[in-house]
Homo-oligomer: A and B are copies of this chain.
């Protein structure tokens, strides 16, 4: 913050800062994107090889696991950030595998509620334990303090993004 004294040192920093600062967000985004892709691909591969499941199916089941009474498809769509039309097919396939079941409540026949079957709960339990261990393994070289800081700072990014969206959608 010292612009004082002789005054030439900071000029360099300012000039450089202006150039770099311009693309800083882009660089961060590209790195976030490639890192997320990398992890996703690895998790996807392991889910497939060890449990015969896909990542979207895992995500969907994770939501149902913590709401044992089940969830409406629309609510499932919001929580998984998957479009409505997509949830339909996802639940359909899981129902065929006997992991999820659909039912229409008496009150409102427009609604479909999806919930895990006993088989689904058991299956997901095993996957969730492995999934958590995989993440610890993949991030093993990162200092826990850094992990905590990243969690906080990415939260700030998320808030900013949420404040500048063009359409709808919130967190």
CB distance from A159 to the nearest CB of B (A): 7
Do residues B25 and A139 form an inter-chain contact, with CB atoms below 8 A?
yes
Q: Taking CB as reference atom, which chain B residue is nearest A155?
A: B31
> Is A158 an interface position by the 8 A CB rule?
yes
CA distance A126 to B2 in the complex (A): 31
**Interface of chain A: mostly helix, strand, loop or mixed:** helix
> Is A90 an interface position by the 8 A CB rule?
no
Do residues B36 and A32 form an inter-chain contact, with CB atoms below 8 A?
yes
Do residues A22 and B166 form an inter-chain contact, with CB atoms below 8 A?
no
Do residues B151 and A28 form an inter-chain contact, with CB atoms below 8 A?
yes
Partner of A142, one of B23, B39, B157: B157
Do residues B144 and A21 form an inter-chain contact, with CB atoms below 8 A?
yes
Q: With contacts A144-B21, A156-B146 known, is A32 near B29, CB below 8 A?
A: no
Q: With contacts A39-B29, A81-B34 known, is A142 near B160, CB below 8 A?
A: yes
Do residues A135 and B39 form an inter-chain contact, with CB atoms below 8 A?
no
> Is A162 an interface position by the 8 A CB rule?
yes
Q: Besides the contacts A25-B132, A31-B151, what 9 more A-B pairs have beta carbons closer than 8 Å?
A: A26-B132, A28-B139, A29-B135, A29-B139, A31-B154, A32-B150, A45-B167, A140-B160, A140-B164
